[in-house]
Structure 1
């Protein structure tokens, strides 16, 4: 029997467009387990303790990103700069302007964060995946694109630097 790492690599080789969540369903494991089995150049999983700092970093970009929340078989997307957040009443509150994201994040529920580089729909793609203790996706923040659907170079550079900085600091919470 192949190890999970071997199974994930085999699926990625044979079906490179397959999303981590779909691989998890196929292999009957959590999305976290799949991301932990990705090659290190494709995904780095870190502790959810970094959530506040990463959200602050992304908000500082002040350029569009795409926040995706999946719930009950539906997918919700917001394409706008991530607003700054602040703590109040136990939540990290995002109070964006009109057209931006608003919400109340319980950062205590974020146990893991994955920095993922994986083609999507035939294009280079990078995202931050925020996962709970069971390894399920809470939300994702994809890097932004310009009018020609090209990734924003400054975001890619910062994302890659962040991912590289965490390679030597793997998630110790599992």
Structure 2
């Protein structure tokens, strides 16, 4: 995959010593909790994602938020994760369809997942494919204007704990469609 720079004026510098150090670490081993690695190096989550080898990440502009959410709502059961300094909260469920209203992108459905998202704060969509805890992992990470994570949506797993093939195909198609608008091609992992 190739990083597509959705907002060059906001792009974190990869020339800093912490960025170079993290890039070297991730080149040797792309596993680990990105938020923890970012904090250890004094970087935002977005800056840490940009330190991943290009084969593990692709970025799209946050203006595609609603399109991405509509597509993901068709994938079936996924894992939605919110990671803050105080909490890692996961919900494995179908992402309900959402719609804008009252200043939010509202998720309503019959399942356990619902909420209200400030979609206008989504600046970047990061498509990350890398090992995590020794398992192949694929996630769409929604990043705000400060480079912090809003939430992540992970491709679901099958009975053998491998990414579901149907969802991986949808993830790849969405990634390629949204990042192609910036005129970049993808290389490496699906």
TM-score tier by shorter-chain length is: 0.7 to 0.9
> Which secondary structure does the structure 2 equivalent of 1:111 belong to?
strand
CA distance in 1, matches of 2:180, 2:53: 11
Cα distance in 2 between the residues matched to 1:133 and 1:142: 21
**Secondary structure of 1:78's match?**
strand
Q: How does 1:127-138 map to 2 (within 5 A)?
A: 127-138=139-150
SS in 2 for 1:16: coil
The question of whether the paired residues in 1 share the 8 Å contact of 2:19 and 2:41 is answered with: no
1:168–1:106 Cα change, 3 Å: closer
Aligned length: 169
Does residue 1:91 correspond to 2:91, yes or no?
Answer: no
Query: TM-score, normalization: structure 2?
Result: 0.80
Q: TM-score, normalised by structure 1?
A: 0.86
Which consecutive segments of 4 or more residues in structure 1 shift more than 3 A?
1-6, 13-16
In structure 1, list runs of 5 or more residues that go unmatched.
none
* Residue 103 in structure 1 maps to residue 98 in structure 2: no
Aligned alpha-carbon RMSD (Å)? 2.2
* 1:11–1:23 Cα contact (<8 Å) kept: no
Report how far residue 34 of structure 1 moved. Answer: 1.6
Question: Could you tell me whether the CA contact under 8 Å between 1:4 and 1:37 is conserved in 2?
Answer: no
Which residue in 2 is equivalent to 1:154? 166
Deviation at residue 27 of structure 1 after TM alignment: 1.5
| Structure 2: runs of 5 or more not aligned | 1-14, 184-190
Quote how far apart the aligned CAs of 1:152 are. Answer: 0.8
Could you give the per-residue CA deviations for residues 88-147 of structure 1, whole angstroms, max 9, x where no partner exists?
Answer: 11111111213x311011101111110001111101000011111110111100111123
The answer to whether residue 39 in structure 2 is matched with residue 25 in structure 1 is yes
